[in-house]
Amino acid sequence: MSDIFKADSVPVLAQGYRFQWEPAQDCNVLLYPEGMVKLSPTAGEILKRINDKKQTVADLIAELKVAFDGADLDDDVYAFLEEAHGNSWIRAE
């Protein structure tokens, strides 16, 4: 669990950020007025789901577990959400 995000929190992209696949970079990226952030495959999977629909952290983790054969990834997801929030990429609703 994190200080900012709880199981019932809904993470959303912060205003001014756009998530997309960037063929020239061969990866998912976050675009913002001052530039671009190239995302790791893991970050891309999490942010893709945040971008696609509003859902709680618990639902996000459940969806990722289905996609990745039940992997124990709760702590990793919470750690990423904290980091992304610290970078101002996302906020909690």
Digit-coded pLDDT (tens) for 35-58: 999 999 999 999 999 999 999 999
Q: Where are the domains of the chain?
A: 11-87
Query: Burial code of 2-19, b = ≥16 C-beta within 10 A, e = fewer?
Result: beebeeebbbebeeebeb
Q: pLDDT tens across 6-20, in order?
A: 999 999 999 999 999
Partners of 44 in beta bridges: none
**Least confidently predicted of 1-5, 48-52, 62-66:** 1-5
- For residues 39 and 30, what is the distance between their CA atoms, to the nearest angstrom? 7
Is residue 39 helix, strand or coil? coil
Domain 11-87 has CATH 1.10.1740.10: no
pTM, two decimals, is 0.92
Contact 9, 84 (CB under 8 A): no
* pLDDT category of residue 93 using cuts at 50, 70 and 90: very high
